[in-house]
Amino acid sequence: MAKKLFGTDGVRGKANRYPMTAELALRLGAAAGRHFRKNSSHTHRVVIGKDTRLSGYMFENALTAGFASTGMDVFLLGPVPTPAVGMLTNSMRADVGVMISASHNPHEDNGIKFFGPDGFKLSDEAEAEIERLVHEGVEPVQAENIGRAKRIDDGRFRYIERVKATLPPGQKLEGMKVVIDCANGAAYRTAPEVLWELEAEVIPVGVSPDGFNINAGCGSTDTRLAAETVVAHGADVGICLDGDADRVMIIDENGRVADGDQIMALLAARWAATGRLRGGALVATVMSNLGLERYLGERGLRLERTAVGDRYVVERMRAGGFNLGGEQSGHIVMTDYATTGDGLLAALQFLSAMVETGRRASELSRSFETVPQLLKNVRYDPEKEPLSAESVRRAIAEAEARLEGRGRLLIRKSGTEPLVRVMAECEDEALLVSVVDDLVEVIGRAAA
């Protein structure tokens, strides 16, 4: 069955427009409740977290109604990072976990992500089954078996203690001045609290959510505010999370930004040196820079590439027994500690490296020289298939021929937005720009 609701990271779209409507959220909850109730015999329960979008209230209530109608007890976490939902789904013995978030997208978008009882995101097969049940219709339980719902207050604190415990015993951040940008999102309380409890001097930004300002001029997708704050305050380092805190960007003391590739390079080399890197490999997506692959190869390590999406990274990690992976966009997955990307946890690993080595952020965040890379997006009408156009296929073939032996080309549709992403890498920057711009023009015409 071809998936229609689920993309690369759950169901996502504009709030109050299909598929992100209250009605569909109720049906998703009911369908997921049916799917997971049949797989267990204990008391059925679901944990639900959300970020700070205004529409989160609507979807939280709709999902609660759907799950309760199938006999599942609902535990509402309130605003918490996405990785907290994965952790608490498992530790609270829930059948399923749900995160209501559109991650790095603007406030008018929202999404629904599901976690299985093991705390990992669902497989394509499980999502397809839930989608089938959505179309089949709600199957409510008897009135006496309707589930209950209640808010729990300690979920955030349980997550805080788990994250702090990933540092070496007794290690603190005393004397370190840290800017933390929470994108006015899910970690607006959690991240500053963790850093303060570890004795850092904390300078918070993006910690005043109002339902509309999530990811607006802040966070991992817009690091300018945090970079300016680092320089203005003479901070040692800056941490930029996205709206649901599963991504991170690091800013050095000079205001320069390090992406996920640089963070993974540092962690892979450190873990390999101490025998912690399982399988001698790092798992990353096709978007990761060629410079990262070369850096790992020089150290006898491999880069295992997957399709774009942290769920595919995690699937490869679990299948191959690897424990470190992620995306250039800042999803860093460390399965020794978490079941999904965790921006705060990755940031703590970076700060720990600063403490242990005594080196500045600028020294640790530039492990390799990047190969020039250019990414441009082309928005298209969802009713059209621009990549199927003959003119586009011909232009792609010509672009690949121009880059042969000198770089690589990657063209794909976004799994979360109606965008065609055109990315190329090449040492010859003039050729790089020419190839990408020519393709964007052709695809744009086909998408119009």
**Kind of pairing, strands 109-115 and 96-100?**
antiparallel
Asked whether the CA dihedral 380, 383, 388, 389 is positive or negative, the reply is negative
Task: Let me know if 434 is a catalytic residue.
Answer: no
What angle do helix axes 155-164 and 190-197 make, rounded to 10 degrees?
40
Interior/surface letters 275-302, b for 16+ CB within 10 angstroms, e for the rest: eebbeebbbbbebbbbbbbebbeeeebe
Q: What backbone torsions phi and psi does residue 206 show, to the nearest 5 degrees?
A: 65, 40
Selection from 222, 227, 181 nearest residue 204 by Cα = 181
| Rounded CA separation 101/416 (Å) | 12
| Rounded CA separation 238/361 (Å) | 9
User: In Å, what is the CA distance from 447 to each residue of 380, 392, 442, 443?
Assistant: 5, 10, 9, 6
Token duo for residue 41: 């015999």
Catalytic residue among 55, 69, 101, 103: 103
In what helix (H) or strand (E) does residue 319 lie, and over which residues does it extend?
Answer: helix 310-320
Selection from 17, 77, 54 nearest residue 184 by Cα = 54
User: In Å, what is the CA distance from 191 to each residue of 167, 184, 185?
Assistant: 15, 11, 11
3-state secondary structure at position 298:
helix
3-state secondary structure at position 360:
coil
| Rounded CA separation 314/318 (Å) | 6
Q: Which amino acid is at 394?
A: R
Looking at 116-189, list the stretches that DSSP marks H as alpha helix, in order from N- to C-terminal side: 124-136, 155-164
In what helix (H) or strand (E) does residue 441 lie, and over which residues does it extend?
Answer: helix 429-447
| Rounded CA separation 233/230 (Å) | 5
| Rounded CA separation 435/400 (Å) | 9
| Rounded CA separation 143/50 (Å) | 28
Query: Catalytic residue numbers?
Result: 103
